[in-house]
Amino acid sequence: MKIAVIGGAGYIGSHTIIELYKAGHSVVAVDNLVNSCDESLRRVAEIIGQPVPFIKADARDAAAMDKIFKENHFDACIHFAGLKAVGESVAKPLEYYENNMNATFVLLNAMRNNGCKNFIFSSSATVYGNPAEIPITEKCPKGAITNPYGQTKSMLEQVLIDVQKAAPEWNVVLLRYFNPIGAHPSGRIGEDPNGIPNNLMPYITQTAVGIRKELGVFGNDYDTPDGTGVRDYIHVCDLASGHVSALKAIENKCGLAIYNLGTGHGYSVLDVVHAFEKVNGIKVPYSIKPRRAGDIATCYCNPEKAYKELGWKAQFGIEEMCRDAWNWQKNNPNGYRKG
């Protein structure tokens, strides 16, 4: 299939392009580079041994999206483009709602106007709020969301459900990602956050490489085995291959389909720190800090539905996630931009 990969220069998009090529698909990556740089795509090209067609454009630009969809006759669109920092979304709600909602509306219109009816959306475990059940199945009701970023995911899921209901010939796959970490095993592409990382793994790797002094562990008084927060970390390459499987659902005319993409295993913050130290032979200094506002104790999924219906399941364990995250960081201490 020929796939439009919107937000393709970013962390998950760049890894997904590799898996799409491996599965025999072709892509055009589109990105405005607001949170990435095209060096990621140059490195993807190096890995796959062929150039990655790339168009620098904003997904909110209706004329640009219409032209791209008109000229390319895509079979499907995978939509990664969005602003994603939870804390920043609380400080800049308008920017988050404006970007994430409008980008999706414009894309859907460009698709509708040009006969592309297959859509894969990057949703998030955040839509479950403080989950009503653990492990979380797709039947778990959506929960109260405490930040504008999460609201955009939940609202856009509803938009997409309604769009598909009104046009049943559309195939729409909502992928609810759990916590992607790690990097391509080559060490050439990985997560390159701007400024101080919000997420656990980039904070750990930046501490290990000496950019940060120590990791703050946000709370050790949760109702979890060691008191620190438990999450379902998933290797970004496994998450990427989940998109290839979602295309199979589309080929089978799935209509609307919703899948959790996680491993089904919960690891605490200290489990991750200790796994990282063990597999990489490097110390990660840390201290216990107060809880972070909006965090929940435990979040991990039941990934059976994706396995039963798509044959997809995560292949990599926490050791590989920690090994590949460190391989990326130590080879690119300043990410893509500075060497």
Residues at the contact surface with ligand NAD, assessed by CB under 6 A: 7, 9-13, 31-36, 58-60, 80-84, 99, 103, 122, 124, 177, 179-180
Instruction: Identify what 295 binds: ligand NAD, ligand UFG, none; CB under 5 to 8 Å per kind.
Output: ligand UFG
Active site residue 96: no
For residue 283, the minimal CB distance to ligand NAD (Å) is 25
What length is written for the chain? 339
Binding status of residue 130 toward ligand UFG by CB under 6 A: no
Q: Which is nearer to ligand NAD, 157 or 271 (CB)?
A: 157
Q: Does 198 bind ligand UFG (CB under 6 A)?
A: yes
292 contact choice in ligand UFG, ligand NAD, none (CB below 5 to 8 Å, kind-dependent): ligand UFG
Q: Considering just the CA atoms, what is the radius of gyration of the chain in Å?
A: 19
In the complex, minimum distance from the CB of residue 222 to ligand NAD, in angstroms, rounded to a whole number: 20
* Rounded Cα distance, 199 and 13, in Å: 18
Q: How far is the CB of 154 from ligand UFG (least distance, A)?
A: 11
* Least distance from ligand NAD to the Cβ atom of residue 8, Å: 7
**Chain residue at closest Cβ approach to ligand NAD:** 10
Q: Does 284 bind ligand UFG (CB under 6 A)?
A: no
Of the residues 199, 248, 277, 317, which one makes contact with ligand UFG according to CB under 6 A: 199
Residue 217 lies near ligand UFG (rule: CB under 6 A): yes
216 is an interface residue for ligand UFG by CB under 6 A: yes
Dist. CA 308–CA 156, nearest whole Å: 26
Query: CB-wise, 83 or 237, nearer to ligand UFG?
Result: 83
What does 5-26 look like in DSSP terms, one character per residue?
Answer: EETTTSHHHHHHHHHHHHTT-E
Give the C-alpha separation, 280 to 178, whole Å. 24
12 binds, among ligand NAD, ligand UFG, none (CB under 5 to 8 A by kind): ligand NAD
Question: Please, what is the minimum distance in Å from the beta carbon of residue 133 to ligand NAD?
Answer: 19
Residues with Cβ < 8 Å from 124, sequence gap 6 or more? 150, 153, 176, 177
- Nearest residue to 181 via CA among 198, 196, 195, 202: 202
CA–CA dist 262, 265 (Å, integer): 8
Looking at the Cβ atoms of 126 and 151, the one nearer to ligand UFG is 126
By CB under 6 A, residue 295 contacts ligand UFG: yes
79 has which bridge partners?
A: 6, 121
Q: Are 267 and 200 in contact (CB under 8 A)?
A: no
DSSP class of residue 50 equals S
Nearest to 14 by CA among 243, 197, 233: 243
Cα distances (angstroms) measured from residue 277 to each of 221, 229, 323: 23, 18, 10
Q: Which residues pair with 172 in a beta bridge?
A: 119, 256
The residue from 84, 243, 265, 323 that contacts ligand UFG (CB under 6 A) is 84
Q: How far apart are CA 264 and CA 88, in angstroms?
A: 28
In the bound complex, what is the minimum distance in angstroms from residue 56's beta carbon to ligand NAD?
Answer: 9
List 56's β-bridge partners, or say none. Answer: 31
- Span interacting with ligand UFG, options 34-42, 133-141, 166-174, 209-217, rule CB under 6 A: 209-217
Burial class for 46, CB neighbours closer than 10 Å (0-12, 13-18, 19+)? middle
Determine which one of 149, 177, 222, 267 is catalytic.
Answer: 149
Report the largest interatomic distance among the alpha carbons of the chain, rounded to a whole angstrom.
55
Q: Cβ of residue 339: shortest distance to ligand NAD, in angstroms? A: 19
Which residues would be at the binding site for ligand UFG (CB under 6 A)?
Answer: 84, 86, 124-126, 178-179, 198-200, 203, 215-218, 229, 231, 269, 292, 295, 299
Catalytic residues, by residue number, are: 149
